[in-house]
């Protein structure tokens, strides 16, 4: 398969590239790196990248930014960061990518554990992750041409824990390579409308 991997330079993206790259042709995409440059907050950038890439069989998104801050310090503009980037960026990958993906192709988005297991300072991430999951479940019943759509909802990634550790006390870190298996299941499997939780 030809797989477009958005966010390929990130920790999860690199693990997904290692996993899927053994068996498929990967086209990497990122804001400032990769085979094609793509800013998921910019619809025209997404369109240009898909035009450059041509026909593909799967889109995997391991991209998305949200703001972490105390609720009392959050304003509407702070929530819009995650809404415009991680949420609508991934939704637009699907809406625009429909024209470039082969029949029976798949989209795999990324949400995260905070949708159901919140932490302090994570209200934006919880909101966005929950919305991504709801979009996937709803979109799956209307996808044309036997297209599939799923989301991977990983726990806190071991390699990314670093300074986030104080906020994730009691969470068991997930190795990026184990999270990557869920992306493989989505791309290479047959299911749709699923949220693959990797905890």
Residues 62, 5 contacting (CB under 8 angstroms): yes
Provide the token pair at 2. 């030809």
Expressed as residue numbers, the domain containing 165 is 2-198
CATH code of the domain covering residue 167: 3.40.50.720
Instruction: State phi, psi for 147 to the nearest 5 degrees.
Output: -65, 150
- Alpha-carbon gap, residue 18 to 96, rounded angstroms: 26
Residues 117, 71 contacting (CB under 8 angstroms): no
What per-residue confidence (pLDDT) applies to 164?
Answer: 85
Those residues whose C-beta lies under 8 Å from the C-beta of residue 18, and which sit 6 or more positions away, are 177, 180
pLDDT tens-digit profile, the chain (199 residues) = 999 999 999 999 999 999 999 999 999 999 999 999 999 999 999 999 999 999 999 999 999 999 999 999 999 999 999 999 999 999 999 999 999 999 999 999 999 999 999 999 999 999 999 999 999 999 999 999 999 999 999 999 999 998 889 999 999 999 999 999 999 999 999 999 999 999 9
Q: Structural domain tally of the chain?
A: 1
What per-residue confidence (pLDDT) applies to 101?
Answer: 98
What per-residue confidence (pLDDT) applies to 163?
Answer: 81
H helices of 28-155, in order, are: 43-53, 76-82, 88-97, 123-140
pTM over 0.95: yes
């Amino acid at each position: 398969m030809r797989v477009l991997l958005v966010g390929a330079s990130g920790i999860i993206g690199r693990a997904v590239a290692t996993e899927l790259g053994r068996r498929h042709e990967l086209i990497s995409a990122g804001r400032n790196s990769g085979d094609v440059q793509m800013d998921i907050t910019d619809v025209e950038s997404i369109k240009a990248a898909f035009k450059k890439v041509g026909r593909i069989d799967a889109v995997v998104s391991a991209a998305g930014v949200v703001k972490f801050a105390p609720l009392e310090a959050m304003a509407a503009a702070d929530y819009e960061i995650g809404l415009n980037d991680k949420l609508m960026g991934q939704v637009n990958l699907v809406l625009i990518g429909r024209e470039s993906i082969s029949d029976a192709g798949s989209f795999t988005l990324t949400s995260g554990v905070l949708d159901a297991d919140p932490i302090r300072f994570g209200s934006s991430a919880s909101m966005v992750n929950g919305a991504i999951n709801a979009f996937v479940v709803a979109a799956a019943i209307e996808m044309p041409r036997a297209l599939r759509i799923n989301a991977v909802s990983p726990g806190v990634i071991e390699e990314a824990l670093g300074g986030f550790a104080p906020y994730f006390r009691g969470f068991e870190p997930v190795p990026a390579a184990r999270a990557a298996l869920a992306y493989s299941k989505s791309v290479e499997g047959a299911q749709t409308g699923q949220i693959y939780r990797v905890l």
